[in-house]
């Protein structure tokens, strides 16, 4: 980078399918053990805007399962939704 300008990574929201700055999106992931997690870490992941409409769309079983390339149970989605609500409530 000759001019010292740093390009911020862009990611696509799983809910609305538009791009946004990586730091402004929430990361949803699945560990190698199969656990759904919120935040950065190893394993397959996808990103979603902090907008409730995007979160609702992203947490629909076919959308999330396709993004994570793995099946997702309703119980797992419920626990992940609780973590997301806790995260958004604390910001």
pLDDT in tens, 42-67: 888 999 999 999 999 999 879 999 99
pLDDT of residue 40: 87
Q: How confident is the model at residue 2 (pLDDT cuts 50, 70, 90)?
A: low
Rounded Cα distance, 52 and 67, in Å: 18
Q: What is the mean pLDDT of residues 28-35?
A: 90
pLDDT of residue 91: 53
For residue 53, the surrounding DSSP H or E stretch is helix 52-58
Rounded Cα distance, 33 and 55, in Å: 24
Phi, psi of 79 (to 5 degrees): -65, -40
Q: How confident is the model at residue 10 (pLDDT cuts 50, 70, 90)?
A: very high
Which among 71, 17, 18, 26 is positioned nearest to 45, based on CA atoms? Answer: 26
CATH superfamily placement of domain 10-89: YlxR-like (3.30.1230.10)
């Amino acid at each position: 980078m000759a001019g010292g300008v740093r390009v911020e990574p862009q990611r696509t929201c799983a809910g609305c399918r538009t791009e946004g700055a990586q730091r402004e999106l929430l990361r949803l992931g699945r560990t190698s053990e199969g656990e759904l997690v919120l935040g950065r870490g190893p394993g397959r992941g996808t990103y979603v805007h902090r907008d409730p409409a995007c979160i609702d769309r992203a947490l629909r079983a076919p959308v999330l399962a396709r993004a994570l390339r793995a099946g997702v149970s309703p119980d797992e989605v419920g626990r992940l939704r609780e973590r997301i609500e806790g995260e958004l409530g604390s910001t």
